[in-house]
Amino acid sequence: MTQRSEDYVIRVLNSPLDVPGADWNALLLAQSPLGMMNPFMRHEYLAAMHQSGSATPKTGWTPRFVTIWQGTTLAAACALYLKDHSYGEYVFDHAWANAYQQHGLRYYPKALVAAPFTPVPGPRLLARSPAERTLLVEALKSWCEEEKLSSLHLLFTDDADVAACEEAGLMLRHTVQFHWTNKAPTFVASRTALPPEGAAAPAAWQSQTQSPDLPGEETQLPAVATNGYRDFDDFLMSLSQEKRKKIRQERRKVADAGVSFRWSRGKDICSADWDFFYRCYERTYYEHGNAPYLSRDFFQRMQDTMPENWLLFVAEYNGATTPQPIAMSLIAISTRANCHSGQNDAQNQHLAAYGRYWGALARVDCLHFEACYYQPLQWCIEHGVQRFEGGAQGEHKMARALLPVKTTSAHWLAHPSFADAIERFLEREGAGIGHYMNELEGRTPFKATPP
């Protein structure tokens, strides 16, 4: 579909492959002040989802990429999918769909702006300016109305997206994730998400501030430090004695079982390691009664097109003459633009790591914690990486020094009565999230600091 809005042309495209990759990535790069590339919105990532058959109409993800052009220049764009289910999203609206069905109304297909199967906050509305971002939101709403869709949902948005969605009248919904920073925080927990890749830490994060949405209440935010922990022991010493002792005990259990780890990054991850990774990944899904969301071909495309964004930890059992791989965790790494070597550099302090996939072929006590938390955190410390995001949900992550942060999605519903009902629901749910965050703040794993 092509529409005109003043001197802009709005085009809705049926595939990520219809969007020039260089134009898309240049727009994505413009969202970061220090030139960091969010891996999950790269054109290569979205194209791999499509080409591998992982996110296609057959799996319930029908692409409709909305783009705004000014002449031959891509001014704004987003990855939109028509969904006929709510799986692979991690912001749950099944109750909304059930309510529609009970009233004889159609909820699916709905419009979703997200990175498929990826609950990682980041830019969703790529635009050259705030005005063009707002124009993109209005174009999304208009297109959904013309297509007679029930609703529009933007998941795990960044601050710029939130501002544009609020201006367009969309409703906001909050969830909680757990993120780690490479320095003990000055305060206990955060009420808002950490800065995106490459963003400078606000000065207010180094001291108590007034919350913009909670007037008069002191906001407790983690300090963002330029100098991280010296080593893993330095990190442990920032924790309370109970948490420090627990982590050491868990790591000792894995070592005493004869398990050691090796890691590979970028092009150093060989095809055999990728094969082993997928074997573990696939088995983990089937053990939980589900088929894996992502195909082996998707990860082959990751190896071929964006290897610099991946870090693999392999657990090996050393009881035999030859080390036997038994488990793995795959971590994503943000990168600077035009960085394809996968090597470390002085800019690592602006990078973020993302816990993504885990699997095991053998059961070893505490192996999951070692593979998914302690090994990645140790790597981040040794390589000066500022932040590790632990993925969706999981209060148990707090015991490993991942602190709660608030993530935001935005929603529009076409039916006025349902929109009113869901708005009231979100108000109650938002109050509950606020109380939950307050509760979590009292459970800091760090040593008490003097007032």
Distance, in Å, from the CA atom of 334 to the CA atom of 398, rounded to the nearest integer, reads: 23
Instruction: Identify the three-state secondary structure at position 219.
Output: strand
The answer to whether residues 16 and 46 touch, using CB atoms and an 8 Å cutoff, is yes
Distance, in Å, from the CA atom of 299 to the CA atom of 304, rounded to the nearest integer, reads: 9
Q: Locate the domains of the chain by residue range.
A: 2-182+184-193+405-441, 232-385
Tokens for 225? 């430090």
Q: Quick one: 133 exposed, middle or buried, by C-beta within 10 A (0-12, 13-18, 19+)? A: buried
List alpha helices for 90-129, DSSP H: 94-102
Q: Look at the domain 2-182+184-193+405-441 and name its fold.
A: Aminopeptidase (3.40.630)
CATH placement of domain 232-385: 3.40.630.30
Distance, in Å, from the CA atom of 117 to the CA atom of 91, rounded to the nearest integer, reads: 11
pLDDT at position 393: 75
Instruction: Identify the three-state secondary structure at position 61.
Output: strand
DSSP bridge partners of 61: 83
Instruction: Identify the three-state secondary structure at position 119.
Output: coil
Instruction: Identify the three-state secondary structure at position 33.
Output: coil
Instruction: Identify the three-state secondary structure at position 200.
Output: coil
The answer to whether residues 308 and 344 touch, using CB atoms and an 8 Å cutoff, is no
pLDDT, averaged per 10 consecutive residues of the chain (451 residues), comes to: 76 98 96 88 98 97 98 97 96 96 97 97 97 97 98 97 97 96 65 43 34 33 60 96 97 97 97 97 91 96 97 91 92 77 55 94 96 97 94 87 95 97 97 94 82 50
Same fold, 2-182+184-193+405-441 and 232-385: yes
